[in-house]
Amino acid sequence: MAARIAQHRGAGLVIGVDLVNERLDRASAHGVSCLDLRRHEKDLGDVVREVTGGRGTDAAIDAVGMEAHGNPVIKAAQWATGLLPDALAQPFMEKAGLDRLGALYAAIGLVRRGGTVSLSGVYGGAVDPLPLLRMFDKQLQFRMGQANVWRWVPEILPLLTDGDPLGVDGFATHHLPLEEAPQAYAAFQAKQDGMIKTLLRP
């Protein structure tokens, strides 16, 4: 959806980076230039700079956020924190929380000097190590935060019309009853059955 909105807002070239086949296929079907991270993990920056005339992207969106998959240490820490009573878990995450930061580091690396990095994915760690020297040297702007829904309602509502310019009506890959939510989340987390976005109906 971030790629679709970038196109709608007039971006000349939209590059999507992912490692889930279904997401790559969906973005490609909408004219996004897609790069499979499994093939380009080592040379992603070189490939992006090549297609952007050596500059890097004007902006990068990290839509991953708090993702523990693939990092057993962080996944174990998040699991262990979930076992703590709330009174202990919240202070622990506020003081010692770590996130997996691969997507954020990639965004910082891919964006051009003076570019913008937007974080729509949620991060919860309080001691995440950031490459401040690189961020400062590249003179980057950062935009982030929770969904400020009321701020964007006047701009979003006109896009939710019969014309459906963002393809919202067909965005969900699955439509399920609300009582199947636990199984649906498990399937989504395991990347099963092509599940990308599920609409739960009460």
| Res 88: pLDDT | 56
201: Cβ contacts below 8 Å, ≥ 6 apart: 175, 176, 177, 178
| Res 78: pLDDT | 54
| Res 108: pLDDT | 95
| Res 68: pLDDT | 47
| Res 89: pLDDT | 55
Beta bridge mates, 61:
118
| Res 96: pLDDT | 45
As a dihedral over the C-alpha atoms of residue 54, residue 55, residue 56, residue 60, rounded to 10 degrees, the angle is: -160
| Res 31: pLDDT | 93
| Residue type, position 10, single letter | G
| Res 65: pLDDT | 66
- Rounded Cα gap, residues 91 and 77, in angstroms: 14
Asked if residues 195 and 184 have their Cβ atoms less than 8 Å apart, the reply is yes
Tens of pLDDT, residue by residue, the chain (202 residues): 899 999 999 999 999 999 889 999 999 999 999 999 999 989 999 999 999 999 999 999 998 866 545 555 555 555 555 565 666 555 555 544 556 788 899 999 999 999 999 998 777 777 778 899 999 999 999 998 887 889 989 999 999 998 999 999 889 999 999 999 999 999 988 888 989 899 999 9
56: left (phi over 0), alpha (psi -120 to 50) or beta: left
| Res 13: pLDDT | 95
Beta bridge mates, 142:
117
- Rounded Cα gap, residues 80 and 190, in angstroms: 20
Q: Is the dihedral of CA 41, 43, 49, 51 positive or negative?
A: negative
Q: Indicate the burial class of 1 (C-beta count within 10 angstroms; 0-12, 13-18, 19 or more).
A: middle
